[in-house]
Structure 1
Amino acid sequence: MTNGNEERKRRLAQSLRDNLRRRKGQARESAAGGSMGGESNGEGDEEREGVEPS
């Protein structure tokens, strides 16, 4: 049982490190002004939702 708990802790720690690296990378992109599409600025919404622009 202890071996299973140790393996779970190891996997959780690795997942947390990977998540932190990913979030830091996203923060760097955001600070540099490079939007990779995570959030919308409101432009182009008509095309995405299938509504014809007026």
Structure 2
Amino acid sequence: MAMQDDPGKPSTTKPGTAQAKSRDDRLKAALKANMARRKVQAKTRAKVQTHNDQEDE
């Protein structure tokens, strides 16, 4: 007997389809936004740390 896809599993998209492309675009946009947010957080933390270090002296 050949194995069949489990009907309980969500279907996966094949690379190159319009659905896969839109998913990739959404993931890329989310990653870009996340990286920008983390960059701002890192700059803020560095600024606060520098400010705290100067106060200690």
* Same fold, TM-score > 0.5, yes or no: yes
Note if 1:11 corresponds to 2:39.
Answer: no
Gap regions ≥5 residues in structure 1: 35-54
Identity %: 12
TM-score when scaled to structure 1?
0.60
Aligned residues: CA RMSD: 1.1
Gap regions ≥5 residues in structure 2: 1-19
User: What is the aligned residue count?
Assistant: 34
Q: Aligned equivalents of 1:26 and 1:9: distance in 2?
A: 26
Moved over 2 A (4+): none
